[in-house]
Amino acid sequence: MSIILHEYSTKLMNKILVSSSHEEVKRHIHSIKKTLEEKNVSGHAISGFFENIIADLESLSPMHKNAQEWSNIQIARIFLHRTKNEIIIPQ
């Protein structure tokens, strides 16, 4: 993962954890997708970026997170999968 994508990943993970609602989690994910598209990041790279974040989220333990953080993690995983599946990747 490039340095820029790694920075975006770190920022998104932090925003997911501190979000106060599921809608806020979705807004952050939508915003990062839009930012990457505006920077002409390829669909393959965006899809891989989301895969990495999903893997990072799946590695987190509920024992180390409060209820809101864990809820945010679960909704983020769902929404990231949906968003990743909507990305059009040229054949």
- 21-48: per-residue pLDDT in tens? 999 999 999 999 999 999 999 999 999 9
52-61, long-range: CB < 8 A, 24+ apart: 52/1, 52/9, 53/9, 53/12, 53/13, 53/80, 54/80, 54/81, 54/84, 56/9, 56/13, 57/13, 57/16
Rounded-to-integer distance, Cα 4 and Cα 26, Å: 21
Q: Provide the residue ranges of all domains of the chain, joining segments of one domain with +.
A: 3-86
What is the reported pTM? 0.89
- pLDDT: which is higher, 52 or 1: 52
